[in-house]
Amino acid sequence: MALKILGKGKRVARQRRHLRLRKKVSGSAARPRLVVTRSARHITAQVVDDGIGQTLVSASTLEADLRGSNDDKTAKARKVGELIAERAKAAGLDAVVFDRGGNKYHGRVAAVADGAREGGLKL
C-alpha cells in the first residue's frame, strides 16, 4: 500500500500518520472500518469492508438535511456519527474499527466517534 507523498507541510504529515495507522487498522466482514474524512468545511464517515473493498454505508455533512442546519461544525459532526450508526445498525452491523484518517482524535473527529457510540455502535 504505497502512497506517493509529495510536497511539504501538514498534508504530508497527515498522510504519513494515516499510512502508519493503516498498517495496524483493517476492516473485516465481522468488524468493518469506520473511516472519517475531514476537510475544512465538511466531514464524511464511511463504513468499509476491506475484505471486499466495498463501502457498506456512509454519511456526510454534504447531505441535504445536514446542510440546511445552522449548527456549528462539531455539532454537525456528532450528527454524522449518529446517522452512520443508525445506517450501520440497519445494515446489520454493531461493531466497527475506528479509522481517524491520520487526523488527531480531537474536535470533530472525536465528535463523530461520540455520535456513533451514542447511536449504539461499538468502537
Q: Percentage of the chain with pLDDT > 90?
A: 63
What's the whole-number mean pLDDT along residues 65-76?
92
Q: Which residues contact 34 (CB under 8 A, 6 or more apart)?
A: 45, 46, 47, 84, 96, 97, 98, 99, 116, 121, 123
Q: What pLDDT shows up at residue 120? A: 95
Q: What pLDDT shows up at residue 25? A: 76
Q: Report whether pLDDT(4) > 70.
A: no
Q: Report whether pLDDT(10) > 60.
A: yes
Global pTM reads: 0.85
